[in-house]
Amino acid sequence: MNKLLVKLSHMILHLAEVKTDNGVLISDSEIEVGREVFIENSDGELVAAPDGEYKAEDGKIFVVADGKVAEIREPEAEEQPEEQVEEEQEEQEPEQPAEEEATADDKDKRIAELEAQIAELNNVIVEKDNIIGELRKELEEKSGEAEQLKAELEKSDSKPAEEQLKSQKNEKSWSFKPRF
């Protein structure tokens, strides 16, 4: 449940996330030099990112010191013949829109999943509210009964015991008839 709340807060707060070789770096806006960054610990809580280098999937290296981005290094380009570089660029161009569409579809799917989870949590909240309402009603009824019993007890305590017995005796007629 805690992890769900953390993910929901990420979505609501529009936190920036960058997947790296050492975990996901999270910031309250675009990750840039001087910006505080966090990681999610095993309990799902955000903690300051430990010092070190974090290599992102796109090859960028984020250097973190004291929980802040100290440096961002671009990936080093390997020297390749121009023909090979051009071929790679041509191959990548058609794939990029498909990847963006897939990413958008994944985001839409994830949003739909989170909305379903939110709806489920809202249903649970409504159920709990109904139960609380029923318990309050029952408590009020029991309190009323307790007040009545208390009033009767106080009323009976105000009469001396002898009078109580006489009044009970007068209220009930005792008769004893032997059967022969």
What would the pLDDT profile of 34-56 be if each residue is shown by its tens digit?
Answer: 989 888 887 778 888 999 999 98
pLDDT of 66: 92
> What are the φ and ψ backbone dihedral angles of 16, each rounded to 5 degrees?
-85, 135
What count of other Cβ atoms lies within 10 Å of the Cβ of residue 63?
A: 15
- 121 against 102, higher pLDDT: 121
Largest CA distance in the chain: 129
pLDDT of 30: 82
Going across the sheet that includes 16-20, the strands are: 16-20, 23-27, 38-40, 46-48
pLDDT of 71: 92
Separation between Cα atoms, residue 74 and residue 94, nearest integer Å:
24
Q: Is the pLDDT of residue 65 over 90?
A: yes
Q: Is the pLDDT of residue 174 over 70?
A: no
Q: Is 11 helix (H, G, I), strand (E, B) or coil?
A: helix
Separation between Cα atoms, residue 119 and residue 106, nearest integer Å:
20
97-112, pLDDT tens digit by residue? 555 666 878 888 888 8
